[in-house]
Amino acid sequence: MIENLKFSLNATMPVVLMMIFGYICKKTNLLDEHTTSKLNKFTFKAALPALLFTDLSNADFKGVWDGKMVLFCVIVTLLSVGLAIVFSIFHKDKAERGEIIQAAYRSSAAILGIAFVKNIYGEITMAAMMIAGTVPIYNIIAVAVLAATSPEKQGSSKKKLLIDTVKGVVNNPIIIGIFVGLCWSLLEIPQPVIMSKTISYLGNMATPLALIALGASFKVSEAKSKIGVTLGVTFIKLVLFCVIFLPAAIALGFRDEKLVAILIMLGSATTSSCYVMARNFSHRGTITAFAVMLTTIGSAFTLTTWLFLLKTFGVI
């Protein structure tokens, strides 16, 4: 139990500290609004696509393919999105519903999933399967809901909204990074060392830059008015999905590293890239930033609890 808590804290506290660092940078005028905005755009259009390409292009999807697990992850992800949409309907401000939906369903699957499974089992095969079933859907749906609920699109005709949403999905740098990465892996195209190192350097900047920009953009005064809805998002993200879908995963026979990968998909913190995407679709980002912060801190304890329970029941 203590080791699990220590591992969880080691995984989550650097994320929190980077957000705090970004907040301090803003307060000490090391970063201003213009620079923070540029950081967001750079992360969205260059660093995040490079990170996703690197993760997916290097994964051996052909060699380790598990259709049952991928299908389960796809179905559960879609059901999670549905539950997040239902929750968002109760929020009066329609322009903020996209933020609520994305923050409630979208996990740190790629980064935290690989770290957790590798730490416990020493290999990332099943984490790769979970990523294959979730990351493309995460991003496509995020683009769709953020585009559809963008403050700039309020009042647009349904036809124009649909066209703009489709364009947003097709032209989205993150979607392009995922598509190219998956194709690269499936076609088994070799990567020259110069290319792989250059892209990995760029991708490695994604998470720290996203967290610094998130912290620098965080406004305490605005967050106070969003406490209720953000606590709801946090409960859904860290508790509700696990309560609903973990028993189903166990009943279907998923065990050990497969079950841990599914746990990360269901109950890990809202990924920091949510904020980058929200801002790039003209959303205020207050709910998203607050949700990332609360779920990151909370997940250190909830994930430890879930791991302890799964270990107690002998399924991992």
pLDDT tens digits for range 29-72: 999 989 988 988 898 889 888 988 887 788 777 777 888 988 99
Range among 87-91, 174-178, 257-261, 290-294 with highest mean pLDDT value: 87-91
Least confident range of 23-37, 41-55, 156-170, 240-254: 156-170
pLDDT value at 18 more than 60: yes
pLDDT value at 252 more than 90: yes
Least confident range of 108-117, 136-145, 243-252, 305-314: 108-117
According to the model, what pLDDT value does residue 119 have? 63
According to the model, what pLDDT value does residue 204 have? 87
- pLDDT > 70: what percent of the chain? 89
What is the Cα–Cα distance from 196 to 213, expressed in whole angstroms? 26
| Section 231-248 average pLDDT | 97
What is the number of structural domains in the chain?
1
| Section 113-121 average pLDDT | 63
According to the model, what pLDDT value does residue 171 have? 82
Res. 154 pLDDT band, cuts 50 70 90: low
Decide which of 173 and 254 is more confident.
Answer: 254
Nearest partner of 212 among 269, 268, 276, judged by Cα: 276
pLDDT value at 239 more than 90: yes
Res. 179 pLDDT band, cuts 50 70 90: confident
pLDDT value at 306 more than 80: yes
According to the model, what pLDDT value does residue 135 have? 78
pLDDT value at 116 more than 90: no
pLDDT value at 124 more than 60: no
Supply the CATH number for residue 280's domain: 1.20.1530.20
Residue 5 tokens, joined: 């808590």
Range of the domain at 43: 2-312
Q: Please, which residues bridge with residue 270 across strands?
A: 107
Res. 271 pLDDT band, cuts 50 70 90: confident
According to the model, what pLDDT value does residue 121 have? 67
Decide which of 153 and 309 is more confident.
Answer: 309
How far from each other are the two terminal CA atoms of the chain, in whole angstroms?
14
Res. 13 pLDDT band, cuts 50 70 90: confident
- pLDDT > 90: what percent of the chain? 34
According to the model, what pLDDT value does residue 4 have? 63
